Structure 1
Amino acid sequence: MIGGLMGSAAAGLGIPLAVHLGISAVTWSMVALVAYRFLLPGPEDAERAAEPQDHTAAPARTNNWRTWGRPAVRMLAALSALAAFGALVEDSGASWGALYLTGLHAGAAVAGLAVVVFQIAMTAGRLAGDRVVDRFGQRTVARAGAALAAAGMGAALAVPSVGTALAGFAFAGLGFATLVPAAMHAADELPGIPHGTGLTIVSWLLRVGFLLSPPLVGFVADLTSLRVGLLTVVVAGVATVFLARVFANRPA
């Protein structure tokens, strides 16, 4: 969020890119050095208690992927798709928000606010996410959030203006705030799959989503317009509403 605000301010003030990047490098290097002093001491797994090993019990999970079963594979595929949808929506604000606002005749400083409002909304959603999920269940939260993102971005594209565009990106960030963490957690808890394996697969495919979403939106934008290209956010929201049934819906 601070990086986005710094970029918007630099663009609005006409600061050369090299100067802005130099200031950012020095500033955040100093922040990292200060934060380094507060890292937890000891080895990485020092806080983990040793778990007793029961060699007589049958293992609950197996490392042989051939024994996972079709239900687990289908669940893993659905969770990977959900994570990819989350990546597409996150990239929309980072890669295309400023360009879209520029097309609406926004100045450089205002155009840079697209990623800022997106990240502010997503941060707020993730900070409040655990409590909301505990109360309503992950399936309900994922569906409601995806519907909010689709409706908000759809309305912003239907009635294009600087204000509606900023609101649309904010709704998208808030609506998809918990989706990627939820998909990762659910993948790591799939029965019959070793801990870490499902998470690794979903994380890898999430990055594939980050790689494919910019050329996908760009391809559609070249054929039509960026306004049409950003409809992929609406499509991702609608698809998430249907695929979210793979999440458990048992409030804590």
Structure 2
Amino acid sequence: MESRKKQRIALSTYFFISGFFFSTWASRIPSLKTFFDLNEAELGNLLITMPVSSMIGLPISGWLVSRFESRLPLLASFALLALGLLGIGFTDNMFMLVISISVFAFAMRIFNIAINTQSLSLQKKFDRKIIGSFHGLWSTGGVAGVAVSTLMIKLEIPMFYHILMVAITGTLAAAVSFSFLLKKDRSTIGNKLRLGKPDKFILYLGLLVFFAALCEGGMFDWSGVYFRDVVNEDIFTLGYLIFMIFMALSRFYSDKIMERLGMQKTYIVSSVFIISGVLLMTIFPNFWAALVGFCLVGLGVAAVVPMTFLLAGSSEKYSPGMAISIVTTYAIAGMLLGPPLVGYIAHLFNLRVSFGLFLIAGLMLIPISKRVLKYREFQGTSEET
């Protein structure tokens, strides 16, 4: 087998494991809410530790991907990620839970930068787009993770046993794949973060992934609570599971969709799906309407992040690693600030009203995508979209 195929398989494994880990954590949030007897606002306070910890990792992640080959911070951050996940599963007091979530979020920050830097470097070895397939595998890992969580909940397996099995299996797979990852991908230029007036191209890209990630993060953290408290479904992971399945399926086809429709139309279609899904699940909060609504939102958010990361790799000001680092800051902010905001709004009103936040986020994709593509065309850096 040629080396680039081995590298693609190895990197795909890390994307899959990352999705599996994250969905394991997200699908167990209702369990943590029940165990620690938290209301929506208290859960929101707990979840806000993630964006804070992630932001702490911003300067560190940017420095690591510019100083070393991306596979080295990828491995180190994965080890921390596994430790953080274990801590979440084994702790029985709030202080240690906050510490464990903080470690998990900090490690996820560095891991995301490293793994997306790898994907952009590997993309250059292929004539056709492959970025979407990597994110599809992340979502597939998420589907597998929430499916396993659903089974564990159904069988009443204690959370710490569940998370221990996930951490051990994921670590073994990561260890086997590490030696096949892409080597010597460190960029020698564009690695310095320039303060002052923000680069408009990167700013627009950041806002796109912020709003997409706000929807994605909200679905991750609140879908289970929504299905349990609003839809009154005992197997509360069903909403999350269907959301992840449709997001994964869509991401595997996102590369072809981009090439056929063009980026602007793909952003518009994504926005329409998100808006339609949120309206359906909130206006008709019954089982089937909510299920279809989660399907539509999954289809809508699927292409936005891989498509935007691909655009970030074409930045003239920054190296792919640094551009991804900056844009991912917005993505993580959206993914991790969204859930606590939903919690606060739900505490003031109710959970159905709080999901209006996703409606606004989906709507914002249209004007911002038009701006970023017009700016890119104006700068003369555009490829055929």
**Scaled by the length of structure 2, what TM-score is found?**
0.55
SS at match of 2:199: helix
Residues 105 and 149 from structure 1, CA distance in 2 versus in 1: closer, same or farther, beyond 3 angstroms? Answer: same
What's 2:176 paired with?
37
Instruction: Confirm or deny that 1:132 pairs with 2:271.
Output: no
* 8 Å CA contact retained: 2:217, 2:334: no
- 1:12: how far off? 2.4
Residues 171 and 190 from structure 1, CA distance in 2 versus in 1: closer, same or farther, beyond 3 angstroms? Answer: same
What's 1:15 paired with?
157
Could you tell me which runs of 5 or more consecutive residues in structure 2 were left unpaired when the two chains were aligned: 1-142, 377-381
Instruction: Confirm or deny that 1:78 pairs with 2:220.
Output: no
- 1:33: how far off? 2.2
- 1:194: how far off? 4.4
2 CA distance for matches of 1:9 and 1:41? Answer: 32
2 CA distance for matches of 1:106 and 1:62? Answer: 49
* 8 Å CA contact retained: 1:135, 1:251: no
Could you tell me which runs of 5 or more consecutive residues in structure 1 were left unpaired when the two chains were aligned: 54-58
Once the two structures are superposed, the pairs formed by residues 113-152 of structure 1 within 5 Å of their partners are 113-152=238-277
Kindly provide the CA deviation profile for residues 184-240 of structure 1, in whole angstroms up to 9, marking residues without a partner as x: 222231334444333221112222222311111111111111111111111111111
Which of structures 1 and 2 has the bigger CA Rg? Answer: 1
Range that drifts further, 221-230 or 111-120:
111-120
What's 1:241 paired with?
366
What's 1:106 paired with?
233
1 CA distance for matches of 2:315 and 2:295? Answer: 32
Residues 65 and 19 from structure 1, CA distance in 2 versus in 1: closer, same or farther, beyond 3 angstroms? Answer: closer
What's 2:146 paired with?
4
- 1:30: how far off? 3.4
**Residue among 201, 206, 222 paired with 1:96:** 222
| Residue type at the aligned position of 2:294 | F
Residues 43 and 200 from structure 1, CA distance in 2 versus in 1: closer, same or farther, beyond 3 angstroms? Answer: closer
- 1:20: how far off? 2.7
Residues 225 and 131 from structure 1, CA distance in 2 versus in 1: closer, same or farther, beyond 3 angstroms? Answer: same
1 CA distance for matches of 2:320 and 2:154? Answer: 48
- 1:38: how far off? 4.5
- 1:133: how far off? 0.3
2 CA distance for matches of 1:35 and 1:17? Answer: 22
- 1:88: how far off? 0.9
Q: How many residues are treated as equivalent by the alignment?
A: 234
Once the two structures are superposed, the pairs formed by residues 153-232 of structure 1 within 5 Å of their partners are 153-232=278-357
* 8 Å CA contact retained: 2:191, 2:322: no
Tell me which of the two structures has the higher relative contact order, counting C-alpha pairs closer than 8 angstroms and 6 or more residues apart: 1
**Scaled by the length of structure 1, what TM-score is found?**
0.81
SS at match of 1:183: helix
- 1:171: how far off? 1.1
| Residue type at the aligned position of 1:106 | E
**What is the aligned-residue RMSD (CA, Å)?**
2.9
2 CA distance for matches of 1:63 and 1:158? Answer: 48
2 CA distance for matches of 1:112 and 1:122? Answer: 15
SS at match of 1:189: coil
* 8 Å CA contact retained: 1:89, 1:176: yes
- 1:250: how far off? 6.8
- 1:14: how far off? 2.6
2 CA distance for matches of 1:219 and 1:210? Answer: 15
Range that drifts further, 219-228 or 75-84:
75-84
What's 1:56 paired with?
none
Kindly provide the CA deviation profile for residues 75-112 of structure 1, in whole angstroms up to 9, marking residues without a partner as x: 322211111112111112211001111122111x2x11
Higher helix content, 1 or 2: 2
Range that drifts further, 176-185 or 33-42:
33-42
2 CA distance for matches of 1:62 and 1:204? Answer: 16
* 8 Å CA contact retained: 2:312, 2:324: yes
